[in-house]
């Protein structure tokens, strides 16, 4: 809040020195900066790794490979595998996702093609 007060004092000084038009312009720039910050926050939330929950909802709490079923309390044991290996490919219909238990997921990635895939985050 101190920066706001300082900004206000700055605006008053600028207003005295350069007239009202200058002061108004400065205020609008601050408002734009705040809007830009808000937009950034929204974007961060929207791009969070919420595809995991989406995939569990679409495909259910069951491993697509060994058909092992999980209780909601054990949902963390299921991981979301990207069929094409591309973490950024997250279609809303879940067509690129596969719910795999940790064992099957590791097995899936130990087959060479996607071997280096787990060196990043699990997907
Ligand atoms: Zn499995
Ligand atoms: Zn995977």
Q: Is 29 inside a domain boundary? A: no
Count of structural domains within the chain: 1
Q: Is 118 inside a domain boundary? A: yes
75 neighbors 61 (Cβ within 8 angstroms): yes
Q: Is 78 inside a domain boundary? A: yes
| Ligand 2 centroid, distance to 105 Cα (angstroms) | 6
Residue 20 confidence (pLDDT): 56
Smallest CA-to-CA distance from 59 within 91, 19, 18, 88 is with 91
Q: What is the CATH number of the domain that holds 41?
A: 3.40.1800
Q: Is 96 inside a domain boundary? A: yes
| Ligand 1 centroid, distance to 99 Cα (angstroms) | 8
Domain range enclosing 39: 35-123
| Ligand 2 centroid, distance to 72 Cα (angstroms) | 21
pTM: 0.54
Q: Is 45 inside a domain boundary? A: yes
Element (H, E) at 78: strand 78-82
Q: What tokens does 83 get?
A: 């069929």
| Ligand 1 centroid, distance to 77 Cα (angstroms) | 10
| Ligand 2 centroid, distance to 82 Cα (angstroms) | 5
Residues with a beta carbon under 5 angstroms from ion ligand 1: 63, 65-66, 101, 104
Q: Is 80 inside a domain boundary? A: yes
Q: Is 66 inside a domain boundary? A: yes
| Ligand 2 centroid, distance to 32 Cα (angstroms) | 41
| pLDDT tens, position by position, 23-56 | 555 667 777 877 776 666 544 444 446 899 999 9
Q: Is 30 inside a domain boundary? A: no
| Ligand 2 centroid, distance to 79 Cα (angstroms) | 8
| pLDDT tens, position by position, 75-94 | 999 999 999 999 999 999 99
Residue 111 confidence (pLDDT): 75
SS3 117: helix
């Amino acid at each position: 809040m101190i920066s706001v007060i300082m900004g206000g004092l700055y605006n008053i000084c600028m207003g005295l020195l350069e007239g009202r038009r200058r002061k108004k312009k400065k205020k609008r720039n601050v408002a734009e900066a705040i809007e830009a910050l808000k937009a950034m926050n929204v974007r961060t939330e929207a791009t969070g790794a919420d595809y995991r929950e989406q995939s569990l909802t679409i495909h259910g709490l069951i491993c697509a490979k060994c058909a092992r079923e999980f209780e909601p309390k054990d949902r963390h044991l299921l991981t979301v595998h990207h069929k094409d290996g591309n973490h950024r490919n997250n279609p809303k219909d879940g067509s690129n996702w596969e719910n795999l238990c940790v064992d099957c997921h590791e097995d899936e990635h130990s087959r060479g093609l996607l071997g280096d895939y787990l060196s990043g985050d699990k997907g």
